[in-house]
Amino acid sequence: MFDRLAFVLAPLTVLCIAGAVVIAGMAMGYYAWPLYLVAGLVGLACGLPTAYWSSKRIKRKDPNWPRHRS
């Protein structure tokens, strides 16, 4: 299901989304451990599909990428 590009993009997207959730939670005054748990779960739930979608989109938009490899 995942290709090499998606494996590179996955940690980036997961951590960026989780970090944004942590920053938003701390800005609202939450500082307990459940904030980090929720941020990690949201990061995984949103970041993995985003990495997969981004990988497919990058390959689809690249004119030099062979179609049989996507």
Q: pLDDT by residue (tens digit) across 38-70?
A: 999 999 999 999 999 999 999 888 888 777 765
pTM of the model: 0.85
Mention every residue, 6+ apart, whose C-beta is less than 8 A from residue 3.
Answer: 55
Average pLDDT score, the chain: 91
Higher-confidence residue: 49 or 2? 49
Output b/e per residue, 33-55; b: 16+ Cβ within 10 A.
eebeeebbebbeebbbebbbebb
Mention every residue, 6+ apart, whose C-beta is less than 8 A from residue 65.
Answer: 59
Q: Which residue has the tokens 């997969």?
A: 52
Q: For residue 66, what pLDDT is reported?
A: 78
- Share above pLDDT 90 across residues of the chain, in percent, rounded to a whole number: 73
Q: For residue 67, what pLDDT is reported?
A: 72
